[in-house]
Amino acid sequence: MRKVAVVGVGMTKFSGKQDKTAVELFAEAAVDAINESGLKPANIQALFLGNALGDFAEGQAQLQAFVADYIGAPFIPANRYENACASSSAAFRDAFMWVASGFYDIVLVGGAETAAKMGTPLATRTFAMASDSRYEYPCGITFPGVFALLAHLYARKYNVPLEKLKYQMALVSVNSHYYGARNPKAQFQKEITVDDVLSSFMVCQPLQLYDCCPFSDGGSAVVLACEEKARKLTDKPVYVAGVGQASAGNLMSQKDYLPRLRSRELSAEQAYRMAGLTPKDIDVIELHDCFSIATLIALECLGFFEYGKSGEAVEKGETKVGGKIAVNPSGGLKSKGHPIGATGTAQVYEIVRQLRGECGERQVDGAKIGMTDTLGGDGGTLCNIILKRGW
Amino acid sequence: MELKLSFKDYNEALKQNKLLGLRCKQCNAITVPPKIACGGCASTDMDIVQLSGKGSIQTFTTVFVPPEGREPEAPYIIVLVELDEGPWLMGNLVGVDPNKVTMEIVGKRVMMGHAVFPGDKYSAGEEARPVFSLEA
Ligand SMILES: [Zn+2]
């Protein structure tokens, strides 16, 4: 396998409902990424596009073909990845492998979503399609409902009193908003307090509004190149050091592991092994904080803290920039926003810019190795990417 | 190969308050909801068995923000129940005030009935689901 580098990144501002289509949002991010790489659309050999719900949000299937044409790269092979909230991370992993294999030298990968445009009732319905339509949805399960079930399970399994867990979860959201307030691309650029979280309305007990990421619109894009091309294009290539991906069935079939998500443990293990690294080597992570409890579960499955202990680590400030592991300096899904198909490559965008030292107030000093973590559905898809400075 | 227990047959039984599962002839594990392969060892050599529908609550949530079309049902409780035969099953919980349910409910014994989700424009027809109530 050849070494593969990120040579350009782009993302739109993430937002609530806005006027552009998913094709247009992706195109804005893609043109920024292509321009940053110094390439032209004609240099792009293939497109890997994450989009989960275009069919429902805009009546638009197969948008990858329209995207390729729209950005001035008509007729290139273009594929869409639907892995729920992990769509563009799955697209990234495949794009990486096509370049690593030697089949392509330069590809474009990214994602776009206009989920906010759907409004809360339809967005809640369509997000629930990533649960099991036969054996879970009839109960009225929702995406926050899944993590609400895991929150109570977590409290019980690790003997954390619910009130204490709720406080730790609130701190996760407070941290997200602290960094989001320092990210001009974030949907919410405003700090919040523990009281704000604990007084917000109940969505799915015990998750309140500020325990939950928003519905968002946005696009993100990354240009990948083989090492030989990357060295000619940039002084600061960011290499893909490791990737991992795993799947899981419905929540019932994961009973031996919950509230751990086994797909995450397996995916992370693959990425660490491929990179020859351990959790201790990671300077900064963008992880899938779709809900506050999801951050605590992720930190443990990724190997940063012991099972049942990540809430205490959050209380001690160990997940802040400057702490043991810098978590979600972009503001994460909670504050930066979660346009689901765009989320994975937006995490890559943040890590690449952190490694290049371009993040201003929220910069993780001297970050050399970063990681992403993206989850789809009830753990149905899990992807991890480890990125490393090439200079 | 032909499915041993399809969704349709599982669903029809559930509508009679009968919970069907599959017992593996290789490892004895019970698989429910049904799959073509054993959840324990991936063997396809399984027999249909009727399960008790009894078990204990492992976790719960009350949904206050429902999906499109489910508004009249909210707020409603969802539980994961560990069946006496071992597997976990997702269902609703009735007979408990969804506005007042707490962690105290975890561990409580329940028995299964059912309700039918009539389906919406996105789903492939009506689908029954387990509805649990506390054992007397
Ligand atoms: Zn078996």
A262-275 and A292-301 helices cross at what angle (nearest 10)? 50
pLDDT of B136 > 90? The answer is: no
Instruction: Please tell me which of the candidates A138, A145, A203 has its beta carbon nearest to residue B117.
Output: A138
Residue B95 resides in a domain: yes
Is there a contact between A221 and A30 (Cβ–Cβ < 8 Å)?
yes
Q: How many domains does chain B have?
A: 2
Q: Which protein residues have a CB closer than 5 Å to ligand 1 (ion)? A: B 24, 26-27, 29, 38, 40-41, 43
Q: Do B33 and A250 touch (CB under 8 A)?
A: yes
Give the pairing type, strands A4-11 and A217-226.
antiparallel
Residue A60 DSSP class: -
Instruction: Please tell me which of the candidates B35, B78, B130 has its beta carbon nearest to residue A140.
Output: B78
Q: B96 lies in which domain range?
A: 54-134
Residue B41 DSSP class: T
Q: Does B125 touch chain A (CB under 8 A)?
A: no
Q: Are residues B86 and B119 in the same domain?
A: yes
Going along A227-336, which residue ranges are E strands?
238-247, 284-286, 326-327
Provide the CATH number for the domain around residue B110.
2.40.50
- CA dist., res. A387 & res. A371, Å (int): 6
Q: Are residues B25 and B68 in the same domain?
A: no
- CA dist., res. A226 & res. A219, Å (int): 24
**Residue B31 burial by Cβ neighbours in a 10 Å radius (0-12, 13-18, 19+):** buried
Q: Are residues B62 and B80 in the same domain?
A: yes
Backbone angles phi, psi at A65, to 5 degrees: -70, -40
Q: Can you name the residues that pair with A144 across neighbouring β-strands?
A: none
Residue B22 resides in a domain: yes
Helix, strand or coil, per DSSP, at residue A293? helix
Residue B1 resides in a domain: no
Please give the model's pTM, rounded to 2 decimal places. Answer: 0.98
Residue type, A378: D
- CA dist., res. A105 & res. A117, Å (int): 36
- CA dist., res. A197 & res. A166, Å (int): 9
Q: Which of A85, A226, A301, A383 is catalytic?
A: A85
Is there a contact between A331 and A180 (Cβ–Cβ < 8 Å)?
yes
Q: Do B88 and A251 touch (CB under 8 A)?
A: yes
Q: Does A251 touch chain B (CB under 8 A)?
A: yes
| Closest to A299 in 3D by CA, of A325, A269, A331 | A325
Give me the residues of chain A with pLDDT under 50, please: none
**Rounded (5°) CA angle A227-A269-B40:** 135
Which residues make Cβ contacts (< 8 Å) with residue A162, sequence separation at least 6? A152, A155, A206, B103
Give the pairing type, strands A106-114 and A47-50.
parallel
Q: Do A140 and B106 touch (CB under 8 A)?
A: no
Q: Please report, to the nearest 10 degrees, the dihedral formed by the alpha carbons of residues A181, A187, A192, A194 taken in order.
A: -130
Q: Are residues B77 and B38 in the same domain?
A: no
Backbone angles phi, psi at A199, to 5 degrees: -105, 0
Q: What is the pLDDT of residues B95-134, one digit of tens each?
A: 999 999 999 999 999 999 999 999 999 999 999 999 999 9
Which residues in chain B have Cβ-Cβ distances shorter than 8 Å to A205?
A: 60-62, 64, 101
* Chain B: closest CA distance from residue A299 (Å): 21
**What domains are defined for chain A?**
4-119+214-389 (3.40.47.10)
Q: Does B9 touch chain A (CB under 8 A)?
A: no
Which residues in chain B have Cβ-Cβ distances shorter than 8 Å to A136?
A: 90
Residue B110 resides in a domain: yes
Is A85 an annotated catalytic residue? yes
Q: Are residues B62 and B16 in the same domain?
A: no
Per-residue pLDDT band for B71 (boundaries 50, 70, 90) equals very high
Is A301 an annotated catalytic residue? no
- The distance in angstroms from the start CA to the end CA of chain A is 20
- CA dist., res. A330 & res. A184, Å (int): 9
* Chain A: closest CA distance from residue B3 (Å): 16
* Chain A: closest CA distance from residue B136 (Å): 23
Q: Are residues B70 and B113 in the same domain?
A: yes
Which residues in chain B have Cβ-Cβ distances shorter than 8 Å to A137?
A: 117, 123, 127
**How is residue A19 written in tokens?**
């006027």
Q: Are residues B113 and B83 in the same domain?
A: yes
Which DSSP string do the residues of A238-265 spell out, in sequence order?
EEEEEEEEEE---GGGGTTTTTS-HHHH
Q: Which of A213, A338, A359, A383 is catalytic?
A: A338
Q: Do B78 and A141 touch (CB under 8 A)?
A: yes
pLDDT at A321: 97
| Closest to A135 in 3D by CA, of B69, B88, B68 | B88
Instruction: Please tell me which of the candidates A132, A142, A153 has its beta carbon nearest to residue B59.
Output: A153
pLDDT at B123: 93
Residue B23 resides in a domain: yes
Residue B2 resides in a domain: no
- CA dist., res. A9 & res. A14, Å (int): 15
Length of chain A: 391
Q: What is the ipTM of this complex?
A: 0.98
Residue B41 resides in a domain: yes
Q: Are residues B12 and B44 in the same domain?
A: yes
Residue B83 resides in a domain: yes
Q: Are residues B44 and B86 in the same domain?
A: no
Q: Please report, to the nearest 10 degrees, the dihedral formed by the alpha carbons of residues A220, A99, A63, A34 taken in order.
A: 50
**Averaged over B77-103, what is the pLDDT?**
98
